[in-house]
Amino acid sequence: VGDGERADTVLKTERYDAVLLDMRLPGISGKEVLARLRRRNDNVPVLMLTAHGSVDDKVDCFGAGADDYVVKPFESRELVARIRALIRRQAGVGATQLACGDLVYAFGTREFRCGDAPLALRRREHAILETLMLQQNKTVSKARLMDSVFALDDEPSADAIDIYIHRLRKHLAASTAEIITLRGLGYILRAKSGTA
Q: Is the pLDDT of residue 170 over 80?
A: yes
DSSP letters for 118-154: EP---HHHHHHHHHHHHTTTS-B-HHHHHHHH--TT-
Q: Identify the CA nearest to 48 among candidates 181, 63, 16.
A: 63
Could you tell me if 8 and 75 lie in one domain? yes
Contacts of 31 (CB under 8 A, 6+ apart): 23, 60, 61, 64
Compute CA distances 22 → 29, 32, 69, whole Å.
8, 11, 10
pLDDT tens string 95-110: 577 889 999 988 778 8
Could you tell me if 101 and 186 lie in one domain? yes
pLDDT tens string 33-88: 998 988 888 888 999 988 877 788 778 778 888 888 888 888 888 888 888 888 87
Q: Is the pLDDT of residue 132 over 80?
A: yes
Last residue of a domain, one of 74, 91, 108: 91
Could you tell me if 59 and 85 lie in one domain? yes
- In one-letter notation, the amino acid at residue 137 is N
Could you tell me if 187 and 103 lie in one domain? yes
Cis, bond preceding 118 (omega within 30 deg of 0): no
Looking at per-residue pLDDT, the higher value among 41 and 119 belongs to 119
- In one-letter notation, the amino acid at residue 13 is T
User: Is residue 106 domain-resident?
Assistant: yes
Residue 178: the pLDDT is 96
Q: Is the pLDDT of residue 158 over 70?
A: yes
User: Is residue 177 domain-resident?
Assistant: yes
Domain coverage including residue 135:
97-191
Residue 54: the pLDDT is 78
For residue 144, what is the domain's CATH number? 1.10.10.10
Residue 196: the pLDDT is 55
Could you tell me if 128 and 83 lie in one domain? no
End-to-end CA distance of the chain: 38
Look at the chain and report how many structural domains it folds into: 2
Average pLDDT, the chain: 85
Q: Is the pLDDT of residue 93 over 70?
A: no
Could you tell me if 139 and 61 lie in one domain? no
Could you tell me if 122 and 179 lie in one domain? yes
**Mean local confidence (pLDDT), 14-33:** 87
Residue 173: the pLDDT is 93
Residue 92: the pLDDT is 59
77 three-class SS: helix
Residue 70: the pLDDT is 87
User: Is residue 111 domain-resident?
Assistant: yes
Q: Is the pLDDT of residue 192 over 60?
A: yes
Residue 156: the pLDDT is 77
Contacts of 106 (CB under 8 A, 6+ apart): 96, 97, 113
Last residue of a domain, one of 62, 91, 120: 91
Could you tell me if 170 and 140 lie in one domain? yes
Q: Is the pLDDT of residue 175 over 80?
A: yes
Could you tell me if 122 and 45 lie in one domain? no
Could you tell me if 102 and 85 lie in one domain? no
Last residue of a domain, one of 51, 68, 91: 91
CB of 180 closer than 8 Å to CB of 187: yes
Could you tell me if 87 and 113 lie in one domain? no
Could you tell me if 83 and 108 lie in one domain? no
